[in-house]
Amino acid sequence: MSRHSRAATCRSIHDHDLVSKDFKIGDETLWNPSNGVADLFVRTADALAQAEGVSTGIEPMLIRDEYWIDADEFTAFVDVLVRRYIGSRHPILRSLIEGFTATALVIVERAGRDIGALSNPSPPDWRDVSVGTTGLAAPGDAERLRELRQESARAMPY
């Protein structure tokens, strides 16, 4: 590899615009994941919001490597997901949403917000249930989400 090629490669690896995106409230960056992770997070948010009939609170900014978060909308969206998770008696549904929700909880926490559903669980959500050989599946666990949030926080640069 020529010296010029190495320099170009190093520049592109360290060029913030090429490798990551910021999730921001105002001027504050709450998370700076790689492009692929950022795009998957936003697409997952869109799918979950559509399934729940709510808005994500995430908007792309004019700058191509930033997403703007409306703290009120995003917190409300995450609260809906946490309520769905905790109230669900369907383990597959919970597994589909828990990774995203744990990541989103970190963003909510960094925004200085709280999710009421973590401390004030809602009644069971009977929209989707799973009855196995041992009977009705147990509801979701707020403590599990808290643990996953902590694990995610350690892996989320900002």
What tens digit of pLDDT does each residue of 88-146 get?
A: 999 999 999 999 999 999 999 999 999 999 998 778 888 888 888 888 888 899 999 99
pLDDT value at residue 3:
52
Residue 10: is its pLDDT beyond 70? Answer: no
The model carries a pTM of 0.85
Quote the mean pLDDT of the chain.
89
Structure tokens at 3: 């010296």
Domain assignment present for residue 6? The answer is no
Answer whether residue 116 is part of any domain.
Answer: yes
| Residue 52 resides in a domain | yes
14 lies in some domain: no
In this structure, what are the phi and psi dihedrals at residue 88, rounded to the nearest 5 degrees? -75, 140
Provide the pairing of β-strand 22-25 with 66-69.
parallel
Range of the domain at 59: 20-154
Q: How far apart are CA 71 and CA 57, in angstroms?
A: 7
Cβ atoms of 68 and 83 within 8 Å: the answer is no
For residue 6, pLDDT over 50 is answered with no
Q: According to the model, what pLDDT value does residue 84 have?
A: 96
| Residue 12: per-residue pLDDT | 46
The mean pLDDT of 7-26, rounded to a whole number, is 66
Position 10 in a domain: no
Label residue 7 by pLDDT band (50, 70, 90): very low
Amino acid symbol at 19: V
Residue 27 covered by a domain = yes
Question: Are the C-beta atoms of residues 113 and 85 closer than 8 Å to each other?
Answer: no
Check whether 13 has a pLDDT greater than 80. Answer: no
